[in-house]
Amino acid sequence: PVEQTLVLIKPDAVRRGLVGEIIGRFERKGLRLDATVLRTMDGELADQHYAEHVDKPFYPPLREFMTGGALVALVVSGDQAIDVVRALVGATDGRKAAAGTIRGDLALSNRENLVHASDSPDSAKREIELWFPAGV
């Protein structure tokens, strides 16, 4: 089925000039861009977006990183887009992510890993509503 998923191109990717490279990988795969916005997350939005992680030890530096510069939020769609995008993005830790994935090719960190992508239909729906409250 055609699905929509939320992608964040994180501040490290924007700083490194990798936005086009990352969007290009989604486009070349055949996925569609349904919405996009460049914005800076504030702490409140970070706490909502990462609600499942706020109590984890890695959260304070993650919050600092994610609120520390502009990012690009996207809604990406296509057949099985949630899983397809996660496969393109690769494992969380850029040092362990497989070559050929965005993180495997371009990231060397567990935190500054260039991209966030929704991990399930429920989180995709929640995150799309959070980032694009006016609808997509």
Closer to ligand CMP at the Cβ: 36 or 109?
109
**Residue 10 counted as an annotated binding residue:** yes
Cα dihedral 8, 64, 49, 79 in deg (nearest 10): 20
Which residue type, as a one-letter code, is found at position 97?
Answer: A
Instruction: In angstroms, give the least distance from the CB of 112 to ligand CMP.
Output: 7
Active site residue 53: no
One of 4, 101, 113, 118 touching ligand CMP (CB under 6 A): 113
Cα–Cα separations (whole angstroms), residue 65 to 46, 50, 60, 98: 10, 13, 9, 24
Interface residues with ligand CMP (CB under 6 A)?
Answer: 53, 58, 62, 92, 110-111, 113, 116
